């Protein structure tokens, strides 16, 4: 097909304009297109790695500002691809940029911060918007920022995650850490910018979530994708107690194990078949056991 000479110029101009427009779009693409930040996401029910929720441990805070680098060590029980990171921070929304480095460490409870091999570097560049938050900030990864984290929990081996400010002058926010005096996470510790432990019982709030994370099943306490008597045992053992996670029996998210959690489990146990109705409520179960013990004592006396 021959294009008339009178049309050649407009066609060439259109093609040139399209090329320039495509190039402009490429230049305008944000450099951290693979990271999406979210204000105050909830810690998930079954994260692959979870230290603790500082808000449940008399929280205190330390500024992520200027040249400071703040760190937390942890262990991983399984190998997974990290798709999301949630940290405990009251973000001020300043666009100074955030550096996140993950390292191997040989001792998650070492007196001083001693990083080994760098596993991954993630950057929110200076100038990119960072949302404000009250207690948490989520980093959803994609493309080249996704990374595999192998299981590492033999003896004291594990990982360390480090946070710093890209422009080294801004205050990004206040990292939240536990401060109750209770060691809520035994497999790691919070290190300040000095390289020393903040305290042996202090931890930052860190959750790492794999790309294959599944929405938990109703009634599933232990995350094995089934509703069984093992889930009931956890609810029964923590009944009427304040807890910090779903894995301790809190199915409803109110941080307390009660009949609401039991009823959710019971309605999903064995597909809610009629046999499930024969499972006694926790208080009733105690009465049944007590009755059996009393009957046994009575039988021995009558002999």
Query: What domains does the chain contain, in order, with CATH numbers?
Result: 35-210 (2.60.120), 229-291 (no CATH)
The alpha carbon of residue 88 and the mean position of all alpha carbons in its chain are separated, in whole angstroms, by 10
Q: What is the pLDDT of residue 286?
A: 56
In sequence order, what DSSP letters do the residues of 141-191 get, joined into one string?
Answer: E-GGG-EEE--B-STT-EEEEEEEESSSSSEEEEEEE--SSS-S-TT--EE
pLDDT digits (tens, 9 = 90+) for 54-71: 999 999 999 999 999 999
Q: What is the pLDDT of residue 215?
A: 72
Parts of the chain with a pLDDT under 50: 7-8, 11-33, 272-275, 287, 290-291, 294
Cα radius of gyration rounded to whole Å, the chain: 26
Q: Is the pTM above the cut of 0.75?
A: no
Q: What is the pLDDT of residue 123?
A: 97
Q: What is the pLDDT of residue 1?
A: 52
Sequence-ordered alpha helix ranges (H) in 249-281: 259-268
Q: What is the pLDDT of residue 225?
A: 74
Q: What is the pLDDT of residue 19?
A: 47
Q: What is the pLDDT of residue 214?
A: 65
Instruction: Give residues with Cβ within 8 angstroms of 55, minimum separation 6.
Output: 88, 135, 176, 205
CB 82, CB 231: distance < 8 Å? no
The percentage of residues in the chain with a pLDDT greater than 90, rounded to a whole number, is: 67
Q: What is the pLDDT of residue 31?
A: 37
């Amino acid at each position: 097909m021959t294009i008339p000479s009178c049309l050649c110029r407009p066609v060439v101009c259109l093609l040139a304009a399209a090329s320039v427009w495509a190039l402009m779009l490429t230049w305008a693409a944000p450099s951290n297109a693979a990271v999406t930040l979210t204000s105050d996401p909830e810690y998930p029910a079954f994260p692959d790695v979870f230290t603790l929720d500082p808000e449940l441990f008399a929280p205190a805070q330390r500024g992520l500002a200027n040249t400071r680098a703040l760190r937390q060590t942890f262990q991983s029980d399984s190998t997974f691809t990290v798709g999301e990171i949630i940290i405990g921070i009251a973000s001020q929304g300043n666009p100074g940029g955030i550096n996140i480095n993950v390292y191997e460490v040989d001792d998650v409870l070492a007196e001083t911060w001693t990083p080994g091999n760098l596993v991954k570097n993630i950057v929110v560049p200076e100038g990119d918007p960072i949302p404000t938050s009250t207690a948490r900030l989520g980093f959803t990864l994609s493309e080249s920022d996704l990374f595999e984290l192998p299981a590492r929990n033999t003896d004291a081996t594990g990982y360390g995650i480090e946070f710093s400010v890209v422009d080294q002058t801004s205050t990004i926010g206040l990292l939240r850490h536990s401060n109750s005096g209770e060691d809520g996470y035994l497999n790691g510790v919070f290190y300040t910018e000095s390289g020393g432990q903040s305290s042996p019982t202090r931890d930052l709030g860190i959750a790492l979530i794999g790309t294959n994370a599944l929405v938990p099943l109703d009634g599933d306490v232990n995350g094995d994708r089934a509703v069984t008597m093992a889930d009931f045992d956890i609810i029964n053992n923590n009944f009427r107690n304040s807890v910090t996670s779903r894995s301790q029996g809190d199915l409803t998210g109110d941080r307390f194990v009660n009949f609401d959690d039991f009823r959710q489990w019971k309605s999903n146990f064995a597909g809610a078949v009629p046999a499930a109705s024969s499972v006694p409520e926790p208080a009733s179960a105690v009465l049944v056991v007590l009755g059996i013990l009393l009957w046994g004592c009575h039988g021995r006396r009558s002999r």
